[in-house]
Amino acid sequence: MTGYDSVTQPESVLERPQVSPPEPWAFPDAQRSQLANGLGVVSYDIPGQYVISVCLAVPMPLDREPRDREGIATIMARTLDEGTARHTAEEFAELLERKGIALGAGVSDAGLVVTLDVSKRHLGEALDLLSQAVREPAFPANEVSRHIKTRLAEIDQERAVPGQRAAIEFSATYFDPGERASRPTAGAKATVSVITPQDLVDFHAANVVPAGATVVIAGDLSDLDVVSEIEQALGSWNGVAAEVVEAHEAARALDATRVVFLDRPGSVQTEFYVGCPGPDHSVHGGWAPYQVLGFVVGGSPNARVDAVLREDKGYTYGIRSGFRPRRRGGMFLTSGSVRADSTVEALGLLLDILDKAREGFTQEETMAGVDFIGRTAPGRFATADAVAEEAAALSLEGLTTEFTTANLQALLDVDADALAAAYDRYVNGEWTVVVVGDAGLYAEGVRALNRGEVTVLPA
């Protein structure tokens, strides 16, 4: 191939190319139906996606857990496939692996999501196994006790990892102690260790039911009758739905505006976890400005936080900010770690940046955020798993991916004024701050910042 004759010498500079407007794109179309048992079925045909992703989302607010059995939803999720009416745990694992099926389950504040990834030709067998796990788990005593021990070991691991330790303490400090949200989703040692197989049987029967649940299937669905496949696997699933209680916004603790410094002597870095209230997806004025704010404040190396703490000061590998919606209400969170000896200065700078953002944003940074969120959507939602996960998560909030589409449309109208109004609506300088680091060296300096009462606790 020959070169271009506009190039007259090797060192000549080609003009910087202009970016042309993006091609039209729409979130994949959904086909929706409902089975007689109340299970919603949503499918997305995405040609070329040869691994099919299935997500079963069962609304199950975490505060349905008995106070003395917190973590039971997580243990249930982890033991659904550890023995069923028809198969032992080992047989079941083998049935999954022989067909290359990845089956997983997890819980959030809004519910249970069971995920399945499988190549197209094994979809039928995979749905049958998903159905058995969801409908007929046996919760064998030895498997339950094993998963409890694993969770207890995991609790120790979480306490040892600075970022996870900070997140746990943040919830405990931020939320009112009466709220389920103030305590770890997967439970504490005292509540997990007493969970029995019968507890799991009862919790499962009361909560894992088809009415109100949604199964999402995404991938290359050509030549598949999706509804019939789902009907065959899950059509005879029955159960009495638990009483529907309107979700409430978890209350913030009365003394949440303060600094908790967890002492981790010898730490070569200090972890920060900083937050204040934020909205959920139903916020008046729309969710789009909050997505943009996350990007502008702390979503890239050039965002406001890292422009200073990373690119100017070199104190951090990266600190991220974002609005995190919950089922009702939400939070604006910023987290990351800095070099230990920069702890005091870095925390002061970080809080100053977050506070100063209340003065507003430039149109240029607003447009950069709008274009980043909007123009990355085709790539972010190009794969079967991303589409299925988005639809499943939204279904737990009573929303569909029509929300995703409408939000991308609304994004186009976000300007600097909208950003300022959105930020000002939630951010008022009343920060809950958790610091994990060497308190002996840095707690006094943090106190001297006068950013709230400082409590030092052992990590």
Partner 1 sequence: MPLDYKIAERTLTNGLRVIVSEDHSVPNVTVNLWVNVGSRHEVEGRTGFAHLFEHLMFQGSRNVASGEHFSALMAAGGRLNATTWFDRTNYFETVPRGAMDLALWMEADRHGHLLDAVNQENLDNQRDVVKEEKRQRYDNMPYGNALIDIYAAIFPKGHPYHHATIGSMADLDAASVQDVHDFFRSHYGPDNTVLTLVGDLTPDEGFASAERYFGPLPATAAARRDPVEPLPALSDAARDEHIEDVPSDHLYISFRLPVDDTPEFFASSLAMDIVGGLATSRLCRRLVRHEQSATSASAHAMGFVDGVSLGFIMIDVAEGVSADAVEAAVCEELVRFAEQGPTDIEMESAMAQTERSWLSSLASQEERADHICHFATLQGDSGYINTYLDRLAEVTPAQVQQAAARWLMPQSRAVVAYLKQDGDTK
Q: CB burial class (10 A; 0-12, 13-18, 19+) of residue 162?
A: buried
R_g over Cα of the chain: 25
From the list 306, 309, 318, the residue with the least C-alpha distance to 342 is 309
Whole-angstrom distance, CA of residue 334 vs CA of residue 294: 9
Count of residues near partner 1 by CB under 8 A: 83
Whole-angstrom distance, CA of residue 447 vs CA of residue 60: 41
Query: Of residues 70-109, which lie at the interface with partner 1 (CB under 8 A)?
Result: 89-90, 93-94, 96-102
User: How many other β-carbons are positioned within 10 Å of the β-carbon of residue 409?
Assistant: 12
Query: Of residues 103-132, which lie at the interface with partner 1 (CB under 8 A)?
Result: 117-119
Among residues 37, 232, 300, 405, the one that binds partner 1 under rule CB under 8 A:
300
From the list 387, 406, 376, the residue with the least C-alpha distance to 288 is 406
- State in angstroms the smallest separation of the CB of 228 from partner 1: 23
Query: Of residues 24-63, which lie at the interface with partner 1 (CB under 8 A)?
Result: 24-25, 46-51
Query: Of residues 214-253, which lie at the interface with partner 1 (CB under 8 A)?
Result: none
* Per-residue binder mask for partner 1 (CB under 8 A), 429-448, x = binder: --------------------
Looking at the Cβ atoms of 66 and 104, the one nearer to partner 1 is 104
- State in angstroms the smallest separation of the CB of 94 from partner 1: 5
Beta-carbon contacts of 330 under 8 Å, excluding residues fewer than 6 positions away, are 277, 278, 279, 280, 323, 324
Whole-angstrom distance, CA of residue 437 vs CA of residue 266: 8
Looking at the Cβ atoms of 28 and 277, the one nearer to partner 1 is 28
Query: Of residues 373-392, which lie at the interface with partner 1 (CB under 8 A)?
Result: 374-376, 378-380, 382-385
Looking at the Cβ atoms of 82 and 280, the one nearer to partner 1 is 82
Contact stretch for partner 1 (CB under 8 A) within 226-234, 297-305, 322-330, 417-425: 297-305
By CB under 8 A, residue 162 contacts partner 1: yes
Among residues 31, 68, 86, 150, the one that binds partner 1 under rule CB under 8 A:
150
Whole-angstrom distance, CA of residue 63 vs CA of residue 389: 23
According to DSSP, the residues that pair with 32 across neighbouring strands are 42
Query: Of residues 310-369, which lie at the interface with partner 1 (CB under 8 A)?
Result: 310-317, 337-339, 367-368
